[in-house]
Amino acid sequence: MVSSDQVFALVQSHSEGDDSQFYSVAMQVAAKEARAGRAKFAQELRDLVDQVRVQSPVTPRVAPVTPLVLPRGDVASLLSVSYPDARLSDLVLAPEVGDAIETLLLEQRQRDMLARHGLTPSRRVLLIGPPGTGKTFTAHMIAGELGLPLFVIRFDALITKFMGETAAKLRLVFDELAETRGVYLFDEVDALAGDRGMSNDVGEIRRVLNSFLLFLESDASDSIILAATNHPRLLDPAVFRRFDSVIRFPLPDEDAARAVVQNRLSGFNLSSISWPRVLEAAVGLSHAEICVAAENAAKRAVLTRKSRIVTDSLVAALQGRPRKRSEGSGGD
């Protein structure tokens, strides 16, 4: 009779995918049966083992190579992954924005401690503000600070003419988000509200946005979900309620504008700059536009072999940048 040890060994080797061990135990069973006088059964078992061994040659077990975190399958085309190294200090943030982000980072870093007290860190955050105020950059920075991968949802791949398909893809994204902890950025999330010039009917579009909101609400993962938008008015008020917090990014004030210039031009001599003139020229520009203007002034200086940035050059560069006509200051 087959011993319980042998049954155990069979099941174990099968579960480990260890074919050679599996067949060797089967052969031991055959030998035992032969000794016990059941020659016919023993021979049939040996024959069977020989036969299946040929059909499935014993392949050495090689652990499948899984890249650290790379979405696989259908979801791969919906997300782009990166490992940003941006830091909080790379950004110039309004004090209330900086506070909100530091709180988010602290809660994430101490999430085990919070969990021991039955508390969960906030992790669903809506970032609102005019273009170029650092919303996308903030998502990179949060991933960089927490050492997590950043997954950016690719709306071009997500949103199709077929709303049912879009909702199914959205589900894949939320499945992935529950499986792999990371920072997931729905950038320019107003795209989900359907302002894409596609001739979808309004009821269908609402359904996609609603399914996003339902996924958001029922999501119990450890991932951080960031949604960013320049158009808060396009978003349903219902959207706001599904987030743990809403962070509003204002255009830079004078202090912020000066800090952006100084950060960008840290390698240059700024001792002769007349700040009142520069700051006046920066009014109404976003952080991003001020960065570009500072870079342009720096290039002028380099190309004319000067290490000093002069006020006129910086002012001219700032005046050459587009500014928003009506800021709306991120309110809704």
Ligand X SMILES: Nc1ncnc2c1ncn2[C@@H]1O[C@H](COP(=O)(O)OP(=O)(O)O)[C@@H](O)[C@H]1O
Task: Please name which of 214, 180, 147, 221 lies closest in space to residue 71, comparing C-alpha atoms.
Answer: 180
What span, in angstroms and rounded, lies between the C-alpha atoms of 257 and 294?
11
What span, in angstroms and rounded, lies between the C-alpha atoms of 207 and 212?
9
**Neighbour count for residue 156 (Cβ, 10 Å):** 10
Q: Which residue, 180 or 286, is less far from ligand X as judged by CB?
A: 286
Q: Which residue, 88 or 214, is less far from ligand X as judged by CB?
A: 88
- Number of chain positions touching Mg ion (CB under 5 A): 2
Residues in 203-232 at the binding interface with ligand X, rule: CB under 6 A: 228
**Neighbour count for residue 303 (Cβ, 10 Å):** 8
Among 108, 133, 136, 200, binds Mg ion (CB under 5 A): 136
Q: Which residue, 41 or 137, is less far from Mg ion as judged by CB?
A: 137
Least distance in angstroms from the C-beta of 102 to ligand X = 14
Least distance in angstroms from the C-beta of 186 to ligand X = 12
Among 257, 260, 261, 281, binds ligand X (CB under 6 A): 260
Q: Which residue, 228 or 273, is less far from ligand X as judged by CB?
A: 228
Q: Which residue, 187 or 204, is less far from ligand X as judged by CB?
A: 187
Q: Nearest to ligand X by Cβ — which residue?
A: 134
Task: Please name which of 72, 188, 197 lies closest in space to residue 129, comparing C-alpha atoms.
Answer: 188
What span, in angstroms and rounded, lies between the C-alpha atoms of 53 and 19?
9
Q: Which residue, 121 or 134, is less far from ligand X as judged by CB?
A: 134
Burial (Cβ within 10 Å: 0-12, 13-18, ≥19) of residue 290: buried
Under a CB-based contact definition with an 8 Å cutoff, are residues 134 and 94 in contact? no
Under a CB-based contact definition with an 8 Å cutoff, are residues 127 and 249 in contact? yes
Q: Which residues contact 323 (CB under 8 A, 6 or more apart)?
A: 284, 285, 289
Q: Which does 137 bind (CB under 5 to 8 A by kind): Mg ion, ligand X, none?
A: ligand X
Q: 124-153 mask for ligand X (x: CB under 6 A)? A: -----x-xxxxxxx----------------
Least distance in angstroms from the C-beta of 154 to Mg ion = 14
Question: Which H or E run contains 126?
Answer: strand 124-128
What span, in angstroms and rounded, lies between the C-alpha atoms of 71 and 78?
9
Least distance in angstroms from the C-beta of 87 to Mg ion = 18
Q: Is residue 251 close enough to count as binding ligand X by CB under 6 A?
A: no
Q: Is residue 230 close enough to count as binding Mg ion by CB under 5 A?
A: no
Among 114, 270, 288, 316, binds ligand X (CB under 6 A): 288
- In the beta sheet, which residues pair with residue 152? 80, 185
Applying CB under 6 A, the residues found at the interface with ligand X are 91-93, 129, 131-137, 228, 260, 287-288, 291
